[in-house]
């Protein structure tokens, strides 16, 4: 995707291919800066502090974190330490475990001298696969959009109105995004599309990131408060909802950014289709029941403080609550499979249930 007309990925290597760079998402939308990750500890900090975020990008950053560790010290002890450090950063997105398990399985049997190159190749491959997976989700999602547009008579005079939550955009992946991939494809193909962007309290991934990246790509969008969704759904202003996922169980329950579950409830009550863009690394085949997904709890200051730019262009962080207010900051919730119209994977669209998912991915 492009930033100011220049193509970027959310994580990339520069120079001789060992210099790992990411976009600092804590500064968007007010400042666009890339930073260099030099060590596995840098990668771990970037994930924990949400310099990078979004399930697929967390996995990709962890893979490069292991590569950085192997470049510094390819011993068994260093490999184990870096895997453990990176695994401890954020608990909900299963892509993290998926990437680290695969890196460990690949690197452990190799002689230490071969590990750094193999780890870099692995991370680069993981990134390429992420891009093509998301592109596949885009194509399957686009077919849904087109079908809905046909059935609603959307055309030159009426855009398809899509609602999304959080940022499951290209910033959350290596490129394309998951929930946004069909949006970008539709827009690029000249299909009229408009996105309702939910602000996504408390960290404003919708207001700060999704609105920014849609704007960079020229996709028409409107920001709404999270609590406006029910109103818009009930007035027929939303044709479909599509969100991302941090972990989808083998039976189809979906953990995603907190607020997704009430959005799915409101969509169901108003008979609006609710789709989840679910790349296969976000599927946790070891869990059936969404109640077993670990839900991250973050610093309450993310709720009691907001950061932005004032009228004079000065960045400020301010408190919005009475001093000392106790707050609890649950970062994700679980949407039960019964509320999910379909999972849009790179292999196609299926019902949110074990049989359908297993069939798509060749599992019994
Ligand atoms: O806390 P975040 O910003 O990492 O949460 C991100 C989300 O909830 C996304 O919807 C999810 O990771 C899917 S990203 C393609």
- The token duo for 96 is 């993290």
d(CA 174, ligand 1 centre) in Å: 13
pLDDT given at position 151: 87
Helix H or strand E encompassing 77:
helix 76-87
pLDDT given at position 364: 65
pLDDT in tens, the chain (364 residues): 889 989 999 999 997 888 999 999 999 999 999 999 999 999 999 999 999 999 999 999 999 999 999 999 999 999 999 999 999 999 999 999 999 999 999 999 999 999 999 999 999 999 999 999 999 999 999 999 999 988 887 666 789 999 999 999 999 999 999 999 999 999 999 999 999 999 999 999 999 999 999 999 999 999 999 999 999 999 999 999 999 999 999 999 999 999 999 999 999 999 999 999 999 999 999 999 999 999 999 999 999 999 999 999 999 999 999 999 999 999 999 999 999 999 999 999 999 999 999 999 998 6
In this structure, how many other beta carbons lie within 10 angstroms of the beta carbon of residue 105?
9
Residues 144-166, buried b or exposed e (16+ Cβ, 10 A)? bbbebbeeeebeeeebbbbbbbb
CB contact set of 300 (below 8 Å; sequence gap of 6+): 326, 327, 328, 329
- Say if ligand 1 is within 6 A of residue 242 CB: no
- Say if ligand 1 is within 6 A of residue 74 CB: no
- Say if ligand 1 is within 6 A of residue 54 CB: yes
Question: In ligand 1, which atom is closest to the CA atom of 166?
Answer: 10
- Say if ligand 1 is within 6 A of residue 259 CB: no
d(CA 58, ligand 1 centre) in Å: 9
Shortest-distance Cα residue to atom 15 of ligand 1: 168
pLDDT given at position 1: 87
- Say if ligand 1 is within 6 A of residue 276 CB: no
Question: In ligand 1, which atom is closest to the CA atom of 169?
Answer: 15
d(CA 262, ligand 1 centre) in Å: 16
Question: In ligand 1, which atom is closest to the CA atom of 277?
Answer: 15
Shortest-distance Cα residue to atom 6 of ligand 1: 54
CB 92 within 8 A of CB 54: no
Strands of the sheet with 19-23, listed across from one edge: 11-14, 19-23, 34-37
Single out the residue of 239, 277, 211, 238 nearest to residue 146, CA to CA. 239
Helix H or strand E encompassing 44:
helix 40-48
Catalytic residues: 246
């Amino acid at each position: 995707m492009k930033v100011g007309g220049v193509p970027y990925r959310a994580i990339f290597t520069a120079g001789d291919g060992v210099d790992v760079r990411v976009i600092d998402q804590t500064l968007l939308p007010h400042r666009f800066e890339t930073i260099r990750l030099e060590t596995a500890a840098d990668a771990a900090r970037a994930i924990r502090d949400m310099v990078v975020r979004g399930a697929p990008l967390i996995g990709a950053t962890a893979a490069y974190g292991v590569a950085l560790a192997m470049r510094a010290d390819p011993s068994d002890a260093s490999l184990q330490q870096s895997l453990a450090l990176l695994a401890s950063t954020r608990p909900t997105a299963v892509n993290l475990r998926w990437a680290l398990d695969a890196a460990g399985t690949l690197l452990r049997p190799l002689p230490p001298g071969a590990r750094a190159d193999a780890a870099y190749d692995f991370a680069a491959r993981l990134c390429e696969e992420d891009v093509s997976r998301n592109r596949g989700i885009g194509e399957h999602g686009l077919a849904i959009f087109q079908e809905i547009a046909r059935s609603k008579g959307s055309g030159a005079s009426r855009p398809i109105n899509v609602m999304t939550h959080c940022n499951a955009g290209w910033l959350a992946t290596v490129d394309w995004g998951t929930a946004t991939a069909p949006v970008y494809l539709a827009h690029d193909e000249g299909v009229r599309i408009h996105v309702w962007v939910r602000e996504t309290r408390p960290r404003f991934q919708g207001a700060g990131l999704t609105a920014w990246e849609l704007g960079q790509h020229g996709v028409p969008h409107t920001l709404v408060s999270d609590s406006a969704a029910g109103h818009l759904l009930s007035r027929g202003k939303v044709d479909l909802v599509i969100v991302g996922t941090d972990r989808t169980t083998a039976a189809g329950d979906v953990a995603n950014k907190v607020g997704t579950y009430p959005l799915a409830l409101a969509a169901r009550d108003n008979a609006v289709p609710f789709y989840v863009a679910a790349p296969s690394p976000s599927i946790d085949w070891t869990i059936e029941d969404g109640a077993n997904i670990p839900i991250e709890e973050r610093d309450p200051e993310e709720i009691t403080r907001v950061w932005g730019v004032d009228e004079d262009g000065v960045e400020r962080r301010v408190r919005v609550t009475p001093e000392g207010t106790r707050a609890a900051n649950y970062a994700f919730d679980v949407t039960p499979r019964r509320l999910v119209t379909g999972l849009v994977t790179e292999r196609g669209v299926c019902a949110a249930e074990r049989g359908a998912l297993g069939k798509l991915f060749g599992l019994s």
